[in-house]
Amino acid sequence: MTRNAHDEARELIALGGDLSETQQTWLLAHLQECKGCRHYAEAANGVVGGLRSLPLAADPRLVRATQMRVRFHASRLRETRERLWLVGMACLGVGLSATLTVPFLWRLFAWMGERAGVSTLVWQTGFMFFFIAPALVVSVLLLARGTHLTSNGEQSR
């Protein structure tokens, strides 16, 4: 399906001022040559000007309700940001404590493995289970409850 120059011009007129420089140049050249498209552009500009000149007043109840909703959502965003900061600090603390304690626990498990006379694979498996088990237990519990940690203990949908 081919488009003619008039359809293209009307689409560009409908876009208003959101045109590239080449589109504006082409449209101005076309409007100088085409009387029908020039009248269409003048009519469109008249409609837009008429709409912009109309005063728009909102009902005070609508304004108050909108302000309340905006404030509510702003407070929720603040709470979320604060929670994320706390989660970030907790992650930093866990990461630092893990970094500091892992070498000592590794040596402890190696020592206990030597004293118990078990193979290296056994005490290394015990060490990995010791570090992974808490995260697995918490994950299973959260999945079993079917909830996520949200504010006020509400279930997320």
Residue 129 dihedral angles phi and psi, to the nearest 5° = -65, -40
Q: What is the mean pLDDT of each run of 10 residues along the chain (157 residues)?
A: 77 82 89 91 88 85 94 94 88 87 90 92 90 82 66 49
What is the pTM (predicted TM-score) of this model? 0.40
State residue 157's pLDDT score: 45
Report pLDDT for 156: 47
Coil, strand, or helix at residue 72?
helix
> What pLDDT score does 115 carry?
93
* pLDDT score at 150: 53
Closest Cα to residue 112, out of 130, 132, 94? 130
The predicted structure's pLDDT at residue 73: 96
pLDDT at 155: 47
pLDDT of residue 142: 74
Domain ranges across the chain = 5-53, 60-153
- For residue 123, give every residue at least 6 positions away whose Cβ sits within 8 Å of its Cβ, in sequence order, or none: 109, 110, 112, 113, 116
